[in-house]
Chains A and B, each alone.
Chain A
Amino acid sequence: MPVTVETPTEKWAGKVREITLGATAAEGGTRTSTVTVGGEGTMPFLHFEGETPHRPVVAIEIYDIAPQDWSPILMDYWGDVVNDVVAWAKKAVELGADAIALTLRGAHPEVNDRSPEDSARVVKDVLAAVGVPLIVYGPGAPDKDNEVLVAVAEATAGERLALGLCEQNNYRTIAAACMGSGHIAVARAPIDVNIQKQLNILISDMGLPLDRILMDPTTGALGYGLEYTYSVMERLRLAALQGDAMTQQPMICTAGHEAWRAKESKVGEGVPEAWGDWKERGIAWETVTATSLIEAGADILVMRHPEAVAIVKKTIDQLVAK
């Protein structure tokens, strides 16, 4: 006797907000392409249950100066291009970046202490050189982050950049800069559902619309707490689907930064032989970290090695195929 089996599906009350990065000339910016993420009405890629209207995207991370602490594997791959941020950005786009994530490391007081004005100029140069949307990170020193990102926000008003990082103890200045210049704020919480939600509330309380807040739940690399991030992201997505308006922000994850900090990818000497080929291992580390995050619900991945990017983008193709 034939039996009809019905796949059980969940009816969700909410969905993830849609956010568009970058603005074209018609929209008040200069981008030739924009990226829209979010909109998911289901847990990741359950196509039988709900919609996943936009594929996850990959941003390639570049620095405004030659990075001093990157793995030799990365430095070998990129070569001389790291000394010229414009050339680096162009190369990244050629290699498949949906967006560029530019870290203004040179502005750090302990690196080159580049001025906010000069840093803003660097961002303008990169904008002029590529047509994809930009995510811009400050140097990682709270006071300087604020100064630099305010200058960048003003100099690039209307471009709809994503600016970060807004953190629990330092969000007002950056969020206000985003508000005044039409940009998107990246809100980072320390692997904690509640703090992430609190930060979203705080930023939206200032008046920044929710469709201009991305959340960064903080990423651990494979073997370095990835499972914590995974479960926090899962809980955030569940809350979003259950209708909690303050957790419905798309998620951005710095997979490359974390994966290439791991000893397995950073160090090639004095490690067990069983670990195998260093370069292959490093790329695999970033790939597995990023892929896991996609399956946890990441919307934007910030990555570093183009070979890992290629594999991850192929995985995304397969995941979004119905």
Chain B
Amino acid sequence: MDTRLPSGNGQVREARRCAVVFKPSGRVIEVPAGTLLLDAARQAGVSIETPCGGYGRCGRCRVLVESGDVARRDTYHLTADEVAQGHALACQTQVQGSLTVFVEPREAISRRYRPQEEARAAQIALPLDGSFICQPSLRKLHVAVEGPSMEDNTNDFDRLGRDLVREYGVPRLRADLPVLRTLAADVRSANWDVTAVVDDEEPQLPQQWEEEMGETGVHMEGPTRLLAVEPGDTTGRALGVAVDIGTTTVVVYLVNTANAQVLDTASAYNAQISCGDDVISRIIYSQRGDGLNHLRKLVTDTINGLLDELAKRNGIELRDIYEMSVAGNTTMTHLFLGLNPKYVREAPYIPTVNLPPAVLAADLGIPIHPQARVKCAPGVGSYVGGDITAGVLSSGMFRTDKLTLFIDVGTNGEIVLGNKEWLITCACSAGPAFEGGGVKDGMRAIPGAVQEVWINSETLEPTCRTIGDLPPQGICGSGLLGALAEMFISGIIDKGGRMRRDLDTPRVRIANNIAEYVLVKAGEQGAKRDIVLTEADINNLLRAKGAIYAGFSVLVRSVGLTMADVEQVMIAGAFGQHIHIEKAIQIGLLPDMPWDRIKYVGNSSALGAYFALVCREARAALQAVARKMTYLELSADNSFMDEYTRALFLPHTDINEFPSVGRLLEQTRQKGTAAVKA
């Protein structure tokens, strides 16, 4: 194996000897100038992990050159600052003089690469600046009311309301009959020392946003509703839940709206999957007999199951949850509310309602507080729903000057292009592959899911990391994306996604006439069974990424722009805690542009639902965003199919659109490829 960097004319000369000191072990080795730092470390007996096989792809062999001269190849794993500080990848760096090198102990490295799923409590940044006060619509207000007397015989409701106006400026308090029925007893049993649980009926848009966004048609202020009266001061905790109803996955955040903290999250596959994988098959199912009701019940059961799980884990009563904020695509929202989605599917594709009203939880069979309102994010049309409005909200793109491309990779891929002045959107069917659906060993991004994959280009042996470092059970979106990229770059699959069957490795095998790559063998890392990626899985992933790429290519062109005009890209989806941007580019899911212009924003739909829960201005902004978006129908654009076929290739049929991947392939090819069976 020739691991040397290109060094002049290749003539062998008597090289200078250089002493390399490795810290903290203090081992010293003398090597000729030009030796790869990684080789020097190995000769010195210092172990450095190289999951990718020394190709500079994984960045795990990072060391700190404290002093001395090195020659290094550029790498995207180090920033200019880090290079200036002396950081280097051992496999991409040559010894040029005597050196002192600090090698981080292995534990520190695994800590650095450990995903942060433990950090459940929100380190979520609101896309809001400090120029206004962000207040949740659900609030708990403590008042010590002076009880009635012959002199002051004001009725209970007005008495409470009077103090709420005086102390908190709550306008126009209203209450439903069930609240009034128990009010007299509630205030007296607490001796008039009570906490009022209130919720705004109408969202409010801050003046500043109104000015920024132009005429939005969103109400500025409305009445406030009294949901319950609790004894004493309970203002420390006002529970609400944010729910993302995905076609494939349902996610619930349990939130304390008093301090905007996410207390816990839970997710599960949407039980409607048993009635079809995508929205179209769900709509078809809804038209048969009691289908609509059945689908409504399935998703309600899924949500209720997650609520139970959260309640149990956090020692709370479901009754203490006073608001539910929901984001879902148009079909999911229809099915959840029991609206007939029939005309969503039939031309000219019309939903029943884009902005559903706030609904009583009790009316939907959700066992949180019976007065709690369920508020669904407004949609734009049949194929761009509240999940995307929520995504645009949480990404903050509706307030930026920068031309932003927002991509939500779900069962339906939705794409939004624009900035604070204009927004255009389209949707394409991507399939559930990146959520682990339709993939043999795919799974959601939960502990035990393989989320990072590296494949050694010479041995073709994989290195996997799971969420929570638990024994692997399956592969989640980011793992699938990583595996696809690694299999492609290491030459296990060709550019068409077909597995090479002539490679000399036991990792590639044929089962049921389909070629598969064994990512984890039973027993490895404590796995109970083999975890594989089949050629059929790869096809599904290719189709998913092809649809997304084609979608945004057509969208960008439709407004007369090119990808080079796009100043930032935000990618959302249920991939897992993080995805490697460079891998998403290598497989052609994302456009080839400088990585710092691309940001993974996680499950932006759930985040948007969360923002709307903890900030009533955000709830108003959802409506403004929905009204602002222009919808582009891809099926009316005949260039989509052509773009799609072009994108069904790794990374793309036109390699000129992916220059960095072209260079990487060239570099890998020069280093030689894995052994072929004799």
Which residues of A are interface residues toward B (Cβ below 8 A)?
A: 168-169, 172, 192-195, 197-198, 201-202, 205, 244
- B615 to chain A minimum Cβ distance, whole angstroms, is 46
Q: Which of A168, A192, A193, A244 contacts B496 (CB 8 A)?
A: A168
By the criterion CB–CB under 8 Å, are B495 and A198 in contact?
yes
Question: What residues of B have a CB within 8 angstroms of the CB of A194 in the complex?
Answer: 642, 645-646, 648-649, 653
By the criterion CB–CB under 8 Å, are B494 and A205 in contact?
yes
Q: Mark B576-591, 1 if CB is under 8 A from A, else 0.
A: 0000000000000000
- B245 to chain A minimum Cβ distance, whole angstroms, is 36
How many angstroms between the C-alpha atoms of A47 and B645 in the bound complex? 34
B507 interface contact, C-beta 8 A: no
How many angstroms between the C-alpha atoms of A197 and B649 in the bound complex? 10
B498 interface contact, C-beta 8 A: yes
By the criterion CB–CB under 8 Å, are A198 and B496 in contact?
yes
Question: What residues of A have a CB within 8 angstroms of the CB of B655 in the complex?
Answer: 201
By the criterion CB–CB under 8 Å, are B645 and A202 in contact?
no
- Among residues of A, the one whose C-beta sits closest to the C-beta of B669 is A205
How many angstroms between the C-alpha atoms of A203 and B304 in the bound complex? 54
- B588 to chain A minimum Cβ distance, whole angstroms, is 12
Closest 3 CB pairs of A and B: A194-B645, A194-B646, A198-B649
Question: What residues of A have a CB within 8 angstroms of the CB of B648 in the complex?
Answer: 194, 198
- A184 to chain B minimum Cβ distance, whole angstroms, is 20
- A191 to chain B minimum Cβ distance, whole angstroms, is 11
Which residues of B are interface residues toward A (Cβ below 8 A)?
A: 494-496, 498, 500, 502, 642, 645-646, 648-649, 653-655
Question: What residues of A have a CB within 8 angstroms of the CB of B498 in the complex?
Answer: 169
Question: What residues of B have a CB within 8 angstroms of the CB of A202 in the complex?
Answer: 494-496
By the criterion CB–CB under 8 Å, are A197 and B653 in contact?
yes
- A147 to chain B minimum Cβ distance, whole angstroms, is 15
Q: From B498, B502, B653, B654, name the one whose CB has the most chain A CB atoms within 10 angstroms.
A: B653
Question: What residues of B have a CB within 8 angstroms of the CB of A205 in the complex?
Answer: 494-495
Question: What residues of B have a CB within 8 angstroms of the CB of A192 in the complex?
Answer: 645
- A174 to chain B minimum Cβ distance, whole angstroms, is 14
- A240 to chain B minimum Cβ distance, whole angstroms, is 14
Question: What residues of B have a CB within 8 angstroms of the CB of A201 in the complex?
Answer: 495, 649, 653, 655
Pairs A–B under 8 Å by Cβ, sample size 7: A168-B496, A169-B498, A172-B500, A192-B645, A194-B648, A194-B653, A202-B496
- Among residues of A, the one whose C-beta sits closest to the C-beta of B498 is A169
How many angstroms between the C-alpha atoms of A169 and B653 in the bound complex? 16
How many angstroms between the C-alpha atoms of A202 and B495 in the bound complex? 7
- A208 to chain B minimum Cβ distance, whole angstroms, is 13
- A194 to chain B minimum Cβ distance, whole angstroms, is 4
- B214 to chain A minimum Cβ distance, whole angstroms, is 41
Question: What residues of A have a CB within 8 angstroms of the CB of B496 in the complex?
Answer: 168, 198, 202
- Among residues of B, the one whose C-beta sits closest to the C-beta of A169 is B498
- A146 to chain B minimum Cβ distance, whole angstroms, is 12
- A176 to chain B minimum Cβ distance, whole angstroms, is 8
Q: From B496, B500, B642, B654, name the one whose CB has the most chain A CB atoms within 10 angstroms.
A: B496
How many angstroms between the C-alpha atoms of A109 and B645 in the bound complex? 33
How many angstroms between the C-alpha atoms of A57 and B88 in the bound complex? 59
- Among residues of B, the one whose C-beta sits closest to the C-beta of A176 is B502
Question: What residues of A have a CB within 8 angstroms of the CB of B645 in the complex?
Answer: 192, 194-195
- Among residues of A, the one whose C-beta sits closest to the C-beta of B647 is A194
- Among residues of A, the one whose C-beta sits closest to the C-beta of B645 is A194
Known A194-B648, A198-B653; 8 more pairs at CB < 8 Å: A168-B496, A172-B502, A194-B642, A194-B653, A195-B645, A198-B649, A202-B495, A205-B495
How many angstroms between the C-alpha atoms of A194 and B495 in the bound complex? 13
Question: What residues of A have a CB within 8 angstroms of the CB of B495 in the complex?
Answer: 198, 201-202, 205
- A265 to chain B minimum Cβ distance, whole angstroms, is 32
- B624 to chain A minimum Cβ distance, whole angstroms, is 40
Q: From A192, A195, A198, name the one whose CB has the most chain B CB atoms within 10 angstroms.
A: A198
Question: What residues of A have a CB within 8 angstroms of the CB of B649 in the complex?
Answer: 194, 198, 201
How many angstroms between the C-alpha atoms of A205 and B669 in the bound complex? 10
- Among residues of B, the one whose C-beta sits closest to the C-beta of A235 is B642
How many angstroms between the C-alpha atoms of A80 and B494 in the bound complex? 47
- Among residues of A, the one whose C-beta sits closest to the C-beta of B494 is A202
How many angstroms between the C-alpha atoms of A199 and B649 in the bound complex? 10
How many angstroms between the C-alpha atoms of A76 and B655 in the bound complex? 51
How many angstroms between the C-alpha atoms of A192 and B495 in the bound complex? 17
Question: What residues of B have a CB within 8 angstroms of the CB of A172 in the complex?
Answer: 500, 502
Question: What residues of A have a CB within 8 angstroms of the CB of B654 in the complex?
Answer: 244
How many angstroms between the C-alpha atoms of A244 and B653 in the bound complex? 11
How many angstroms between the C-alpha atoms of A172 and B648 in the bound complex? 19
- B527 to chain A minimum Cβ distance, whole angstroms, is 31
Question: What residues of A have a CB within 8 angstroms of the CB of B494 in the complex?
Answer: 202, 205
How many angstroms between the C-alpha atoms of A198 and B494 in the bound complex? 11
How many angstroms between the C-alpha atoms of A194 and B657 in the bound complex? 14
- B612 to chain A minimum Cβ distance, whole angstroms, is 42
How many angstroms between the C-alpha atoms of A174 and B655 in the bound complex? 25
How many angstroms between the C-alpha atoms of A169 and B496 in the bound complex? 9
- Among residues of B, the one whose C-beta sits closest to the C-beta of A170 is B498
- A39 to chain B minimum Cβ distance, whole angstroms, is 24
How many angstroms between the C-alpha atoms of A129 and B329 in the bound complex? 69
Question: What residues of B have a CB within 8 angstroms of the CB of A169 in the complex?
Answer: 498
- B649 to chain A minimum Cβ distance, whole angstroms, is 5
How many angstroms between the C-alpha atoms of A215 and B81 in the bound complex? 50
- B661 to chain A minimum Cβ distance, whole angstroms, is 13
Question: What residues of B have a CB within 8 angstroms of the CB of A168 in the complex?
Answer: 496
- Among residues of B, the one whose C-beta sits closest to the C-beta of A239 is B654
Question: What residues of A have a CB within 8 angstroms of the CB of B646 in the complex?
Answer: 194
How many angstroms between the C-alpha atoms of A244 and B648 in the bound complex? 18
- B216 to chain A minimum Cβ distance, whole angstroms, is 42
How many angstroms between the C-alpha atoms of A205 and B493 in the bound complex? 12
How many angstroms between the C-alpha atoms of A210 and B386 in the bound complex? 50
- A65 to chain B minimum Cβ distance, whole angstroms, is 30
- Among residues of A, the one whose C-beta sits closest to the C-beta of B500 is A172
- B469 to chain A minimum Cβ distance, whole angstroms, is 37
- Among residues of A, the one whose C-beta sits closest to the C-beta of B665 is A205
How many angstroms between the C-alpha atoms of A311 and B496 in the bound complex? 41
How many angstroms between the C-alpha atoms of A110 and B642 in the bound complex? 37
How many angstroms between the C-alpha atoms of A195 and B644 in the bound complex? 11
- B639 to chain A minimum Cβ distance, whole angstroms, is 12
- A142 to chain B minimum Cβ distance, whole angstroms, is 12
How many angstroms between the C-alpha atoms of A195 and B542 in the bound complex? 14
Question: What residues of B have a CB within 8 angstroms of the CB of A195 in the complex?
Answer: 645
How many angstroms between the C-alpha atoms of A244 and B642 in the bound complex? 17
- A234 to chain B minimum Cβ distance, whole angstroms, is 14
How many angstroms between the C-alpha atoms of A202 and B655 in the bound complex? 13
- Among residues of A, the one whose C-beta sits closest to the C-beta of B491 is A205
How many angstroms between the C-alpha atoms of A244 and B654 in the bound complex? 9
How many angstroms between the C-alpha atoms of A208 and B203 in the bound complex? 65
- Among residues of B, the one whose C-beta sits closest to the C-beta of A244 is B654
- B515 to chain A minimum Cβ distance, whole angstroms, is 12
How many angstroms between the C-alpha atoms of A198 and B650 in the bound complex? 10
How many angstroms between the C-alpha atoms of A185 and B649 in the bound complex? 21
How many angstroms between the C-alpha atoms of A84 and B410 in the bound complex? 61
Question: What residues of B have a CB within 8 angstroms of the CB of A197 in the complex?
Answer: 653
Q: From A168, A169, A195, A244, name the one whose CB has the most chain B CB atoms within 10 angstroms.
A: A195
- B452 to chain A minimum Cβ distance, whole angstroms, is 27
- B16 to chain A minimum Cβ distance, whole angstroms, is 39
How many angstroms between the C-alpha atoms of A44 and B449 in the bound complex? 56
- B375 to chain A minimum Cβ distance, whole angstroms, is 45
Question: What residues of B have a CB within 8 angstroms of the CB of A244 in the complex?
Answer: 654
How many angstroms between the C-alpha atoms of A198 and B648 in the bound complex? 9
How many angstroms between the C-alpha atoms of A205 and B653 in the bound complex? 13
How many angstroms between the C-alpha atoms of A194 and B646 in the bound complex? 5
How many angstroms between the C-alpha atoms of A226 and B649 in the bound complex? 27
How many angstroms between the C-alpha atoms of A198 and B500 in the bound complex? 16
How many angstroms between the C-alpha atoms of A104 and B108 in the bound complex? 64
How many angstroms between the C-alpha atoms of A168 and B646 in the bound complex? 14
How many angstroms between the C-alpha atoms of A271 and B504 in the bound complex? 59
Q: From B494, B502, B642, name the one whose CB has the most chain A CB atoms within 10 angstroms.
A: B494
How many angstroms between the C-alpha atoms of A168 and B495 in the bound complex? 11
- B501 to chain A minimum Cβ distance, whole angstroms, is 8
- Among residues of A, the one whose C-beta sits closest to the C-beta of B649 is A198
How many angstroms between the C-alpha atoms of A194 and B653 in the bound complex? 7
